[in-house]
Amino acid sequence: MAALDGEERVLATAQHIVRSLGTTDATTDDMIEILSKFDNRFHELLSKKTIASASSTSVLPDGFADSLDAAEEVIMRWDKASSDAAWTKMIWDSNDDAVDYLHAVDEVQNILESLSLSQRRAGVERAQNLLHVSMARLEDEFRCLLETTSGPVDPERLLDSFASSSMAAAASSSFNSNCDDDGEGSSIAGTYRDEEGENSSDDDNDEDVPVARPVTDLNPVIELLPPDVVESLNDIAKRLVQGHCKLECCQIYGSVRKVVLEESLQRLGMDRLGIDETQRMPWELLQNKIKKWIQVMDVGVKVLFASERQLCDQVLEGIPGGVEESCFAELAKGIMMQLLCFGEAVAIGKRETDKLITILDMYEKLRDLLPEIHSIFSGESCLSVREEASGVLLRLGEAAKGTFAEFENAVQRDPPKTPVPRGALHPLTRFVMNYLRFLLVYVDTLKKLFGEKPAVPVVPGDEFARGGGGYYGSSDEYYHHHHQYSSVPAENTSPLAVQFIWIIHLLEANLDNKSKLYKDLALTNLFLMNNVRYIVQKVRHSELSSLLGDDWMRRHSAQVRQHAKSYERSAWVKVLACLKDEGIRSGGSFSTGVSKAVLKERFKSFNSALEEIHRTQSGWCVPDSQLRSELRISVAEKLIQGYRAFLGRYKIYLESERNPQKYIKYTPEELEKMVNDLFGGS
């Protein structure tokens, strides 16, 4: 009772202020509205008393009074009930109550719109206060209905919807491909193959491809709220906007759905990371974060953000003024900017070779999602999101090109340390060629990133080099200043091919420096032969062959043969020199007598040199089995042919000697066996 007396005194004071300052009905209305904004108690108390007072003093035209009385009865009944702390029932708990309340609100709004100027002076105060009361109630109902029916989406549901859409898209693509007239197509395998698995699968058979039915609905959007709830929210939203509470409506909707959207994305794997935190993160950990980011972006944009936009459009359907765009911006803009901020942090991070593949994954994902981002985040309210997404994509592209340049620098700078044992493949060769092959998965993206004209790294020391960038600006400059290099491509070579050719050129130059670590010239040539052969085989058995072209293949295959010949000359020149006739016959003439002492020494030198080669080169390595066989055959032909001829000419002179086997230790067959022992190292 004391509380009631206090409220009465507050009300009396407010009414006294209104009567003292308000000289017209319009001024009185303004004062009531002002006081209502300071404290809800003014709003509630003034509404009740003023409505009661107005109902006894206002005179409304016929028809309006009965309608307003009926609306007042419904509105004030719920207003009175809400003041009871024990009352927990909401209007939208019952469909009949909701229909009655909406009808009452519509009646009040219709009366306000229908009253003429003179009539408004008589009845507007009562109707206005009823409208204030009903708007406050509708705001509570709107919030309560949203909060009780909204909840984070289970990640499994999101992933299932996304997977179903992806499978449908793949089936549609397969259908379209099978319907294509030419029936031709190519794809790059997305799986890395180790250097041991040189042969790619060629088992594709058009007859085995299942004919899919055309798929027309690839939309992964899901229902976030039941249709009846969406309809109810739409009914409330329309009345709130008509009652000039558009801002409040958007704030309520945005605040509730934003929390739900953020929690759904967090369950999917989204992290709230700042730029500094991201850039300080160890690469192994950051790589896992990027994988999650790609999934969150993919599923989030295609399913969650698209579903939120659809829900927002449905809830605010039929409301003019683009209110759905501002509401959606209220709930989704900040979250999307947070996701893009992570992409920005990676894009502006340190350029490291290991990051190129991951950055390309991010670039391709954002590029593919960009049209959907522009569609979902449409309107002026979301312009900053669209601009930021395009900007992050651009910076990821620049990061990819910069990291590619760092890859070139890493190949060029890899220092010669210790020679690879047995002349085997250098780890750098394996790394670079498998890296290039793996980049073929991104060949279309890389072609677009490198543009129409080649941008070729400057040869160190080139006086024509551009300052700072390390690249030529046009293909003309490249061809003009680098025509002396054997790796210069043909005029129609693509910019990406130029980049790949250049990297292989840097690799070959580095390998040449590393080959100088060997003290044995024969091992130097064997090392170069092995590594260039590996490069050629990696190109031949991949899409690199079509990218680099036939001319490149011919020149590098010739290099392998040249290194093999150089090996044979440097390794076997001493052995084969022992099988020459010079110095064996007295006077140098074939008709004169043979010097047995010289002949014996010649056989001893041959045996010693052959045994040394067999001892050392049996452990040398030629990993390519075909090349190993070809090299053995080539050596055997020269060695055995020369040895047979030498034996045929001079064997007779030693057969009469004591222990001729001391000099003629090997038969041609034994030599062949010894040659076949060569290059057995692993």
pLDDT-derived band at 469, boundaries 50, 70, 90: very low
pLDDT exceeds cutoff 70 at 594 = yes
Per-residue DSSP letter, 661: G
402-449 pLDDT, tens digit each: 999 999 999 999 998 899 999 999 999 999 999 999 999 999 999 999
Neighbours of 530 (CB within 10 A): 30
pLDDT exceeds cutoff 60 at 349 = yes
Determine the pLDDT at residue 591. 47
Identify any residues that bridge with 547 across adjacent strands, giving them in sequence order.
none
Alpha helices in 470-520 (DSSP H): 475-481, 495-515
134-185 pLDDT, tens digit each: 999 999 999 999 999 999 999 898 888 888 766 545 444 443 444 444 433 3
pLDDT exceeds cutoff 70 at 33 = no
Mean pLDDT, range 323-348, rounded to an integer: 93
**Counting Cβ atoms within 10 Å, is residue 144 exposed (0-12), middle (13-18) or buried (19+)?**
middle
pLDDT exceeds cutoff 90 at 205 = no
Determine the pLDDT at residue 681. 78
464 vs 576: which has the higher pLDDT: 576
Determine the pLDDT at residue 181. 43
pLDDT-derived band at 596, boundaries 50, 70, 90: confident
The tokens describing 323, both together, are: 């209110």
CA distance 35 to 41: 9
Determine the pLDDT at residue 539. 96
CA distance 439 to 615: 42
Determine the pLDDT at residue 177. 43
CA distance 682 to 678: 12
Closest CA to 301 of 376, 359, 362: 376
pLDDT-derived band at 624, boundaries 50, 70, 90: very high
Q: What is the pTM of this model?
A: 0.74
Neighbours of 421 (CB within 10 A): 11
Determine the pLDDT at residue 432. 96
- Phi and psi torsions of 680, nearest 5°: -85, 0
Mean pLDDT, range 354-362, rounded to an integer: 94
Determine the pLDDT at residue 71. 84
Determine the pLDDT at residue 86. 54
Q: What is the dihedral of CA 51, 53, 59, 65, to 10 degrees?
A: 40
Determine the pLDDT at residue 89. 81
pLDDT exceeds cutoff 50 at 486 = no
Determine the pLDDT at residue 119. 56
Identify any residues that bridge with 594 across adjacent strands, giving them in sequence order.
585
199 vs 665: which has the higher pLDDT: 665
Of 3-12, 271-280, 481-490, which range is least confident? 481-490
Mean pLDDT, range 295-310, rounded to an integer: 94
Determine the pLDDT at residue 249. 92
Determine the pLDDT at residue 34. 59
Of 214-218, 312-316, 622-626, which range is least confident? 214-218
Mean pLDDT, range 646-669, rounded to an integer: 88
Determine the pLDDT at residue 293. 95
How much of the chain, in percent, has pLDDT values that exceed 90?
A: 54
The tokens describing 406, both together, are: 């760092």
How much of the chain, in percent, has pLDDT values that exceed 70?
A: 73
Closest CA to 503 of 324, 651, 353: 353
Determine the pLDDT at residue 17. 56
Identify any residues that bridge with 332 across adjacent strands, giving them in sequence order.
none
Determine the pLDDT at residue 90. 87
Mean pLDDT, range 487-502, rounded to an integer: 76
Q: Report the chain's terminal Cα–Cα distance, integer Å.
A: 100
The tokens describing 188, both together, are: 């790059």
pLDDT exceeds cutoff 90 at 253 = yes
Identify any residues that bridge with 680 across adjacent strands, giving them in sequence order.
621
The tokens describing 463, both together, are: 């006086």
Mean pLDDT, range 36-50, rounded to an integer: 51
CA distance 539 to 280: 38
Cα torsion angle, 82, 87, 93, 96, sign: negative
CA distance 381 to 386: 10
pLDDT-derived band at 279, boundaries 50, 70, 90: confident
Cβ 583 vs Cβ 643: under 8 Å: no
599-613 pLDDT, tens digit each: 999 999 999 999 999
CA distance 98 to 235: 10
- Mean confidence (pLDDT) of the chain: 80
Q: Which residues contact 171 (CB under 8 A, 6 or more apart)?
A: 212, 213, 215
Identify any residues that bridge with 457 across adjacent strands, giving them in sequence order.
471
